[in-house]
Amino acid sequence: MSEGNVRRRATRAARAPLSRAEVVEVALRYVDEHGLDALTMRALATQMGVYPTALYWHMGDKAQLVAAVSAKVLEDIVLPSGHDMRWDDWLSTVALSCRDAMRRHPNLAPVIGSQLAVTTTALPLVERVIDVLERAGFTGQTLIEVYNTVIGFVLGWVTLELSQGPAEGNDEWQQEYEAQLRSANPTAYPALTRNLDLLANNAFLVRWDSGRDRPMDLSFETALDVLIRGLRAKRE
Amino acid sequence: MSEGNVRRRATRAARAPLSRAEVVEVALRYVDEHGLDALTMRALATQMGVYPTALYWHMGDKAQLVAAVSAKVLEDIVLPSGHDMRWDDWLSTVALSCRDAMRRHPNLAPVIGSQLAVTTTALPLVERVIDVLERAGFTGQTLIEVYNTVIGFVLGWVTLELSQGPAEGNDEWQQEYEAQLRSANPTAYPALTRNLDLLANNAFLVRWDSGRDRPMDLSFETALDVLIRGLRAKRE
DNA sequence: ACCTGAACACCGTTCAAGT
DNA sequence: ACCTGAACACCGTTCAAGT
């Protein structure tokens, strides 16, 4: 306990004052390494050689910290240059780029999917997507709806892909579920039974490994293809 | 403290033993009423007139409880009868029905989006979607990919729609964000500036009210339309 | 089998105080 | 302005014990 204090002091001797940006940075790395549940005001404080209450001065409360950290993930999205590409190619590229950014910080996927995430860090993405959809011919109210279609699809889909089961370490429930799935009544579930080997652990709602370990690359590409084809048809 | 025990005892006098199903039921209602953060092993135990540790006997730990509760939301999805409908109409109906089910339990949206949710409760949905996609002409590996396209789109999109900002009660950050948004540099963000009035609080990443309070009905319908058109094109 | 009761090692957050 | 230090009211979870 006093030992902890000593180490803390040692690490932080003659140190520049904390900044909000620095706290968020360290928190992001911490979550990447130790998981979202391990992100604790106290743990982060210890990591930074500071008292927990110091974080409150910079960040407000924990909810705001988490919001700031999740916003930083979207900052990482690489936006292709653009005006030399067709609108549909550009959209595909940026969708894959969003997915990559989220895959780089899978522990934050739940937060990205469920947090409003209003920050100026996302504005470049918004600007470019709106721009390219205008070039595709969408305007006014339809433009907004199509924008929401695209963003909701990409961010939502990948959130689901990266979702996890309870207790990642525990694989008893995995085997139990697989057994339960394979013994499903064939007359009650004929279509499922017909395709069981293809579905098992490969399809949403009937898989036990997360997209973290088992990327759903082909499905995402198909989803993207469906999206683009749908948008083309919508333009008519 | 001993007062608490007395009330607990009173509520639960001559009571049938707890069942797993009952715990999950009460937990779902509790989350609907008080929010996900308020769901605590201790609070739920008090609600049920029982010691916290009694829950552990039935549910395992909290992660498993939450998983079971979120699975129950999917149980609520109304599946239209089917074989008298065209595949595309059926898919639209069931997508709207999924969204309705999630909107009935908005506090659980973050969990549905981010939890693997492997339970037999989702099997009817899986069966029917697979069945209808086969009828639409998809088979084998493509069938799986298209299935993932559909499920990922619907569940993911609605998860995003129902997402919330940090500290729901606090509306300082909302005003602050709106001000920040409206003062965005017009030369850096021309497309955004052109459509600012349409976008503000209506589009993903630039809204401050949750889809709980501000349903994105039109956008979801458009998204659905794009999905269906895309699937039609994919069949060719 | 099902639950009580006590205990442990944590949390987030507030508030006064230092510099 | 920025941080320490102590304190408060909680958590989830384990384990022994009761019936």
Q: Would residue B137 count as lying in a domain?
A: yes
B218 and A141 within 8 Å at the Cβ level: the answer is yes
Of the pLDDT bands very low, low, confident and very high (cuts 50, 70, 90), residue B13 is very low
A127 and A229 both lie in a single domain:
yes
A113 and A224 both lie in a single domain:
yes
Residue-level pLDDT at A8: 41
Of the pLDDT bands very low, low, confident and very high (cuts 50, 70, 90), residue A169 is low
CATH number at residue B35: 1.10.10.60
Three-state secondary structure call for residue A164: strand
Q: Would residue B145 count as lying in a domain?
A: yes
B9 and B55 both lie in a single domain:
yes
Q: Would residue B98 count as lying in a domain?
A: yes
**Tens-place pLDDT, residues B19-28:** 999 999 999 9
B221 and B129 both lie in a single domain:
yes
| Cα–Cα–Cα angle for A216, A218, A221, rounded to 5 degrees | 105
Residue-level pLDDT at B169: 58
> Which of B156, B166, B221 faces A160 most closely, judged by CB atoms?
B156
Q: Would residue A44 count as lying in a domain?
A: yes
Per-residue pLDDT, averaged over B33-61, amounts to 97
Asked which of A75-84, A127-136, B60-69 is least confident by mean pLDDT, the reply is A75-84
Residues in A 71-110 with any Cβ partner in B closer than 8 A: 74, 109-110
Inter-residue contact A64 to A41 (CB < 8 Å): no
Per-residue pLDDT, averaged over A169-175, amounts to 72
Asked which of B26-30, B40-44, B82-86, B114-118 is least confident by mean pLDDT, the reply is B114-118
> What is the share, in percent, of chain B residues with pLDDT greater than 70?
91
CATH number at residue A123: 1.10.357.10
Mean pLDDT of chain A: 91
Residue-level pLDDT at B150: 98
Residue B170 pLDDT > 80: no
Its pTM stands at 0.93
Domain that holds residue B49: 3-60
B122 and B159 both lie in a single domain:
yes
A153 and B153 within 8 Å at the Cβ level: the answer is yes
* CA–CA separation, B152 and B117 (whole Å): 13
Per-residue pLDDT, averaged over B91-104, amounts to 98
A159 and A104 both lie in a single domain:
yes
**Tens-place pLDDT, residues B63-86:** 999 999 999 999 999 999 877 999
Residue A104 pLDDT > 50: yes
Asked which of A14-28, A67-81, A180-194 is least confident by mean pLDDT, the reply is A14-28
* Phi/psi at B180 (5° precision): -60, -40
For testing the chain A interface, which of B118, B135, B172, B198 should be mutated: the one with the most A CBs within 10 Å? B118
Those residues whose C-beta lies under 8 Å from the C-beta of residue B236, and which sit 6 or more positions away, are none
Residue-level pLDDT at A168: 60
Mean pLDDT of chain B: 91
* CA–CA separation, B103 and B80 (whole Å): 18
Q: Is the CB of A29 under 7 A from strand D?
A: no
A102 and A154 both lie in a single domain:
yes
* CA–CA separation, B126 and B138 (whole Å): 15
Q: Would residue B37 count as lying in a domain?
A: yes
Closest residue, chain B, to A225 (C-alpha): B230
Residue A70 pLDDT > 90: yes
Q: Would residue A187 count as lying in a domain?
A: no
Q: Would residue B12 count as lying in a domain?
A: yes
Q: Write out which nucleotides of chain D lie closer than 7 A to a protein Cβ.
A: 1-6, 10-16
B68 to B17, B43, B76, B113: CA distances (angstroms): 19, 17, 13, 14
* Phi/psi at B47 (5° precision): -55, -35
* CA–CA separation, B56 and B58 (whole Å): 5
For tokens 């994105």, what's the residue?
B216
**Tens-place pLDDT, residues B173-210:** 788 889 999 999 999 999 999 999 999 999 999 999 99
β-sheet bridge partners, residue A115: B164
B156 and B48 both lie in a single domain:
no
Note whether B146 contacts A: Cβ–Cβ < 8 A: yes
> Number of folded domains in chain B?
2
**Tens-place pLDDT, residues B125-147:** 999 999 999 999 999 999 999 99
Residue B116 pLDDT > 90: no
Of the pLDDT bands very low, low, confident and very high (cuts 50, 70, 90), residue A83 is confident
Those residues whose C-beta lies under 8 Å from the C-beta of residue B134, and which sit 6 or more positions away, are A191, B143
Q: Would residue A197 count as lying in a domain?
A: no
Note whether B121 contacts A: Cβ–Cβ < 8 A: no
Q: Is the CB of A40 under 7 A from strand C?
A: yes
A120 and A158 both lie in a single domain:
yes
A51 and A156 both lie in a single domain:
no
Q: Is the CB of B42 under 7 A from strand D?
A: yes
B148 and B226 both lie in a single domain:
yes
Per-residue pLDDT, averaged over A56-68, amounts to 96
Three-state secondary structure call for residue B50: coil
A158 and B161 within 8 Å at the Cβ level: the answer is no
Q: Determine the distance in angstroms separating the CA of A145 from the nearest CA of chain B, rounded to an integer.
A: 4
DSSP H helices, chain A, are 2-11, 20-34, 41-48, 52-59, 62-75, 87-104, 109-114, 123-135, 140-161, 172-182, 190-194, 196-199, 217-235
**Tens-place pLDDT, residues B118-127:** 788 999 999 9
Residue nearest to nucleotide C2 (CA to C1'): B17
* CA–CA separation, B73 and A103 (whole Å): 27
The 8 Å CB, 24+ separation contacts for A92-98 are: A92/A224, A92/A228, A94/A125, A94/A128, A94/A129, A95/A150, A95/A154, A95/A224, A95/A227, A96/A220, A96/A224, A98/A125, A98/A154, A98/A155, A98/A158
Residue A133 pLDDT > 80: yes
Residue A5 pLDDT > 60: no
> Which of B126, B225, B229 faces A205 most closely, judged by CB atoms?
B126
Residue A24 pLDDT > 80: yes
Residues in A 20-59 with any Cβ partner in B closer than 8 A: none
Residue-level pLDDT at B205: 96
Residue-level pLDDT at B115: 87
Q: How many Å from the CA of B21 to C1' of D12?
A: 21
Note whether B175 contacts A: Cβ–Cβ < 8 A: no
B131 and B41 both lie in a single domain:
no
